[in-house]
Structure 1
Amino acid sequence: MQNITAGATEGIALTCGMSGSHEFIFTLVPIVYGCIFVIGIVGNSMVVAVIYSYMKLKTVANIFVLNLAVSDLTFLITLPMWATFTATGYHWPFGGFLCKASAGLVIFNLYTSIFFLTALSIDRYLAIAHAVRSRRFRTVVYARITCVLIWLFAFLLSVPTALTRDVHNITNLNTTVCAILHPKIKSSAIRLKELLLAISLMKSLLGFLVPFIIIITCYCLIGRALVGARHIQKSSRSRDDEVLRMLAAAVLAFFLCWMPHQVFHLMQVLTQLTLVENCAILEIIDTAIPFTICIAYFNSCVNPIVYGFVGNNFRKNLLRLLRCSPGGAPRPHPSISSKMSSFSFRASEALSLTAKSKASSDIK
């Protein structure tokens, strides 16, 4: 999506032309968007249906995963518009309101997705390392309150992005784009520059760096707890390995999907702050940005796989849903993180036994 230098909203002349405008982008990116839309809608809808129909909202993990899937669905509905925007050579035919709303929903999904992943990581850390002490905090009520706070906080963070987006006419190219306006009026330009800098810093810090540090820290502490407990219960090795693989996949997916976009986004911000008008540099950045966005959007497809389809219980319930099997008598269905949750008590007990054994050896 283009960043433009404006003289006026009703008529804008670009100094570097439509940088990043290539036929292969206009062809390939919409196809990728279409695939992400189909896979993401189907995958996340299945997650919502399975959790709501069979697993119920009786565990903290299920509540967070359900909200994560709903967050991805709210974003995915905007992909057809972005696909059309790219396929038509960055021409936006949907009006100003949908321009603002779609841009806001993209950032809204960024924050909600990462915040829910972070909440899941913290919940898993508490379930493993502090299984007994955290039981009074890891309740359905607290989980729902956390979800409400995440939705509200993400909405507030996404409002500035929506306000700085609008539809602009490019006079020398006879097209209309959904983009950020950079006015030449000095007072307005300075205020807008400061606002865009704040938005970009929030996107990099709150939308990636800080949550990633929290997630990595939680998973390192989880791994240490599991490794420590493994010395006590060798029979749990296969279950531990499965949990660790799931956690590693979640971190890897998070990092690989968002890191390229964050890097080029930072480069884009630097060019805006220094008012770089080197068309070659802008061409490289604007050409790479659509592909990094595709990778970032793919995270909405990965989430159902990482947090849902890796679970045996989820697959069984999915087959029941596809076969339209009746619910029958209510039976306890473990959550998506049931294997880890059930092991958390054994891990805590093992850690406790380790501490007691060390204490008794010191006495002797």
Structure 2
Amino acid sequence: MQNTTAAATEGIALKCGITGSYEFIFTLVPIVYGCNFVIGIVGNSMVVAVIYCYMKLKTVANIFVLNLAISDLTFLITLPMWATFTATGYTWPFGGFLCKASGGLVMFNLYTSIFFLTALSIDRYLAIVHPMRSRRLRTVMYARITCVLIWLFAFMLSVPSALTRDVHKFTNYTKVCGILHPTLENAVSLKKVLLAISLMKSLLGFLIPFIIIITCYCLIGRALVGARHIQKSSRSRDDEVLRMLAAAVLAFFLCWVPHQVFHLMQMLSQLKLVESCAILDIIDTAMPFTICIAYFNSCVNPIVYGFVGHNFRKNLLRLLRCSPNAATGPHLSISSKMSALSFRASEALSLTAKGKASSDVK
């Protein structure tokens, strides 16, 4: 509901009315939120439990995956409130503080989730393409420092979103949790702040990380394909890693692109470039469903980054059976499997370089 507003004595009078207000939204969206909540809580809790109890925090990838799961869990606890908000016809009964906190946590999860995915992509690139040169950088200490910096940076980026949200009372006495509405005194400054938040969400929350992720995966794919020509026996393992990387990129893209497209349209409406009530109604009707898809990324992450590995599934079964953490030998994690693959890839690439050098000498 980002349409043009003006102050009124009994509340906020909307130029186009409360757009995007339909019964099927109030029924369907809360159901989807509920499914996301249950699936996300169970999946991410299992990831945290398996990594902490069995796989331990001894690898860079495990640390990033654990923090990613915790980030998703902190966001998922707000979904029951958003489900109630939608089911009651966009009526917010939880007060101003929870409105600000929940809105801030949504943006906080957006940034932390995407930053951790980016960190994972960079770590995989270094582990596979530059395994020897990156040993000093790919340590547990540096990974923990990176996680702290990500949490702090994401918190700083999410604070403006929390501060610019509040509970608004409309002329029909409906209380809505939404962004602040301009007054005569702060119209220009508030417009600039909201525009800056929207630009940060599009650039730092999607476009720049997506470019980094795509670049890393393309370089990884090129290195693995080049190594395959030297070591034919590793083809099945290469295929497994490439499939996982492709699934990660595809999940990220499919979950966030629809929301970012309508977010861009919403930003155009804030700039008064789109003022048609019909278009605003389309935006506000589609936005809850694009948000549902984006929130589903919190459910997909445990599948893409945890359950794809045979060792993870084995440890999950041990957790469900309440098996003790016996010292049965080292457990291979996602990163250790990739590291083993990266050494084979680097050896193959070095053999290729030596072969070319010897041919040049001859």
- With the shorter chain as reference, the TM-score category is over 0.9
Question: 5+ residue gaps in structure 1?
Answer: none
Q: What whole-Å deviation, never above 9, does each CA across 1:37-57 have from its counterpart, x for those lacking one?
A: 000000000000000000000
Q: What whole-Å deviation, never above 9, does each CA across 1:82-133 have from its counterpart, x for those lacking one?
A: 0000000000000000000000000000000000000000000000110011
Cα distance in 1 between the residues matched to 2:66 and 2:3: 35
Partner of 1:321: 319
Cα distance in 1 between the residues matched to 2:347 and 2:210: 29
Cα distance change, pair 208–246 in 1 and its aligned pair in 2 (3 A): same
Matched, 1:43 2:43: yes
Once superposed, what is the RMSD of the aligned Cα atoms? 1.3
Matched, 1:358 2:341: no
SS, match of residue 57 in structure 1: coil
AA partner of residue 196 (structure 1): L
Partner of 2:102: 102
Partner of 1:156: 156
CA contact (8 A) 2:2 2:269 kept: no
4+ runs of 1 displaced by more than 4 Å?
1-4
TM-score, with structure 1 as normaliser: 0.97
Partner of 1:227: 225
AA partner of residue 64 (structure 2): F
CA contact (8 A) 1:5 1:181 kept: no
Task: Give the Å deviation of 1:318.
Answer: 0.1
Is the deviation greater in 332-341 or in 113-122? 332-341
Partner of 1:141: 141
Cα distance in 2 between the residues matched to 1:300 and 1:213: 20
SS, match of residue 12 in structure 1: strand
Is the deviation greater in 323-332 or in 312-321? 323-332
Task: Give the Å deviation of 1:288.
Answer: 0.4
Cα distance in 2 between the residues matched to 1:196 and 1:334: 46
Cα distance in 2 between the residues matched to 1:9 and 1:117: 47
Cα distance in 2 between the residues matched to 1:250 and 1:9: 51
Cα distance change, pair 226–95 in 1 and its aligned pair in 2 (3 A): same
Cα distance change, pair 9–303 in 1 and its aligned pair in 2 (3 A): farther
CA contact (8 A) 2:32 2:292 kept: yes
CA contact (8 A) 1:8 1:183 kept: no
TM-score, with structure 2 as normaliser: 0.98
Q: Percent identity of the aligned residues?
A: 86
**Aligned residues between the structures:** 362
Give the one of 288, 293, 307 matched to 1:290.
Answer: 288
Partner of 1:204: 202
Cα distance change, pair 3–70 in 1 and its aligned pair in 2 (3 A): farther
Cα distance change, pair 30–107 in 1 and its aligned pair in 2 (3 A): same
AA partner of residue 191 (structure 2): K
CA contact (8 A) 2:37 2:79 kept: yes
Any residues of structure 2 matched to 1:72-91 within 5 Å, and which?
72-91=72-91
Partner of 2:331: 333
Cα distance in 1 between the residues matched to 2:10 and 2:47: 45
Q: What whole-Å deviation, never above 9, does each CA across 1:17-44 have from its counterpart, x for those lacking one?
A: 1100000000000000000000000000
Is the deviation greater in 72-81 or in 332-341? 332-341
Cα distance in 1 between the residues matched to 2:224 and 2:259: 33
